[in-house]
Chains A and B, each alone.
Chain A
Amino acid sequence: MPVDPAAEQVHLLFLRHAEAIRGYVTGLAGGDLALADDVFQEVFLVASRRADDFRVGSDFSAWVRGIARLKLLEVLRQRSRGTGFAEDVLGLLAAEAPADENWRIHQHALQDCLGRLAPRARELTEMRYVEQLAPTAIAARVRWTVNAVNVALSRVRRQLRECADRRLAQDAS
């Protein structure tokens, strides 16, 4: 199964590119993780329905990114005004998004760096990214100010970004 070999092929490619597709959608969704998850699932459905449109051997990533961008625009239009980036900004970002291979390499580097986080930083990160708590909710839980939480999360991301950059530079040398 499935009966349709085109759908079979698309499903397989989608699974292989899943993290890059999810990252691409997250970026266009303004970093809104919940919105990105919703759109990601919708993209899978649309790609499956349109599997016959995909030509084997052509650029799957470009094809599915096109679907993702349109689906995100559709979702944003259905939501209240002021949600997400303006369409012209989306277009600029979409054109300059990292390639799938870049996502994969970066994920490897990030994986190494995660283990180096201090316990408190890890705790905050998990509240934000696992439980998907907003900074206000995290602040209430840890009894910090919201600003302190924002600063701490920013530091964690910067620390990880710098660590990942170092890793990538080492790998390249």
Chain B
Amino acid sequence: MTRARLDQLIDACLDGDATLRPELEAALRASPAARQAWWRAIQIHAGLHGALRARSAAVSGARMRRASPGRRRTAATFPLRWVLAAVAAVLLVAVGLHTRQPAAQPVAQPAAQPVAQPVAQPAVQAAVSALARITAGTGVGRELIAGDEVVATSATTITFTGEATVVRLEPGARLRVDRPHHIALVLASGVMTIKAAPQPVDYPLRVTTPHAELRVIGTVFQVAVAQATDVRVDHGTVAVRSAGDEVHVSAGGEARCCPGETPRQGGRLLRLFDDFIAGSGSTAWNNDSLGGIERQLVPEGFLDGGGCRLRFLPDRDQPSPWAGMRFATPQDWRGASGISIALRGSGKGGILLLEILDDGPASAPGEIDHAERFQVVIRDERTGWREWRLPFKAFQRRAMQFPGAPADGLTLSAVQGLSLIQHTGPLDVVVDRLGLYRE
């Protein structure tokens, strides 16, 4: 066979023409030189695919804007779009921790050792345009191209070129960004929050983790999470696939993917006491200790633009300060499975108690209550955000009870309020999305 004929066969195969494949196979089978020519052609073919993938950011962004101009506007409008677009998805993907948590003693995720600043794939860096840019945190200002890896040593925000998709990495997260024809994220470890802008149906954003895959249903997203992976969805719907099975998780829901197992759908937020949106104020905390507690709304929340910083400043008069909520009327929590709270810790090892004021004789807010008290322990052992799910069965009756409190167990039929109480150690945390969930 001539070299020209071999090149013709190889080119036909690379461009999807299967009719000449038998002849090519025969050549490859017979000749080491043909196999060498094949690999040289593949190095160009695959190399072009890899090197040009980053350009798809701008190409795809322009295509998406042409395809649906009403939805995809300039980046300047994206905050409004996030609010309005029902299809936008906000995901929390946590890889690494996947033990079932004994809820009374939640085990914090061990932080990964940050091993590097963003690592560029050297092969294609200069010739391609930026896929995304780090807009806060580790390596701020750095442009990312397809194949780049980011290891976050602090809370890190990545904004994608030509659209409004934003990724936030918690310290220790390791992420590879790619864009063959869709945004493709490979989360090797750590916690990642994604605010995904609407994307074309045929170019969904995908996330792959060691144990699962995710994509947004409708106009947006796909994400994959595995073994030690939690997926929580705030807006939109996300398909979660592992071990050959797929579930759809909609707003407020969550799924867990363990090694070799199909996805398990978890609890759904039933009620949100407060998500602490900056600027809207917080009416939730109305029963704080008289001293030793400072509250401040901060712009960086768990999944949105607001959280509530709590600084516990114990002193001789108030050795265990608290931030508390008393409900105007007792609430029936019997339809819920537990309390959900997002917490950004300081990692200093302090212990926080979450206390439920269950049923008891009525008393007005501001007066001493006579509720039966139950508690669960939260250890502040890591920095960065984590969402805790604290099932009611993990709560224990507190030793400290006011006179007149009933002793009928955790009935949840007429809950009067809840508190976050400093138990030990320095505590400076930010809380968000405090509510009830149901399995």
Q: Do A and B come from one complex?
A: yes
- Which residues in A have some Cβ–Cβ distance to B below 8 Å? 1-3, 7-8, 11-12, 14-15, 18-19, 22-23, 26-27, 30-33, 36-37, 41, 44-45, 48-49, 82, 85-86, 88-89, 92-93, 96-98, 102-104, 106-108, 110-112, 114-115, 125-126, 128-132, 134-135, 150, 153-154, 157-158, 160-161, 164
Within 8 A of A (CB), among B24-49: 25, 28-29, 32, 35-36, 38-49
Q: Which of B11, B42, B174, B191 has the most chain A CB atoms closer than 10 A to its own CB?
A: B42
Contacts of B32 in A (CB 8 A): 96
Asked if B155 CB lies within 8 Å of chain A CBs, one says no
B188 in contact with A23 (CB, 8 Å): no
Contacts of A98 in B (CB 8 A): 39, 43
User: In the bound complex, how far is the Cα of B46 from the Cα of A114, in angstroms?
Assistant: 13
Asked if B122 CB lies within 8 Å of chain A CBs, one says yes
Contacts of B115 in A (CB 8 A): 12
Q: What are 13 contact pairs spanning A and B, CB under 8 A? A: A1-B110, A2-B188, A18-B147, A18-B176, A96-B32, A96-B39, A129-B53, A130-B53, A130-B59, A154-B8, A157-B14, A157-B48, A160-B44
A15 in contact with B149 (CB, 8 Å): yes
Asked if B72 CB lies within 8 Å of chain A CBs, one says no
B75 smallest CB distance to A (angstroms)? 21
B59 in contact with A107 (CB, 8 Å): no
Contacts of B176 in A (CB 8 A): 15, 18
B208 in contact with A2 (CB, 8 Å): no
B208 in contact with A49 (CB, 8 Å): no
Contacts of A126 in B (CB 8 A): 52, 55, 59
A106 contacts which of B43, B49, B97 (Cβ < 8 Å)? B43
- A-B pair number, CB within 8 angstroms: 207
Known A-B contacts A48-B227, A96-B32; the reply to A7 vs B210 at CB < 8 A is yes
Chain B's closest residue to A105 (CB) is B123
A88 smallest CB distance to B (angstroms)? 7
Known A-B contacts A27-B39, A96-B39; the reply to A125 vs B48 at CB < 8 A is yes
Asked if B112 CB lies within 8 Å of chain A CBs, one says yes
B59 in contact with A1 (CB, 8 Å): no
Contacts of A150 in B (CB 8 A): 11-12, 15
User: In the bound complex, how far is the Cα of B14 from the Cα of A160, in angstroms?
Assistant: 15
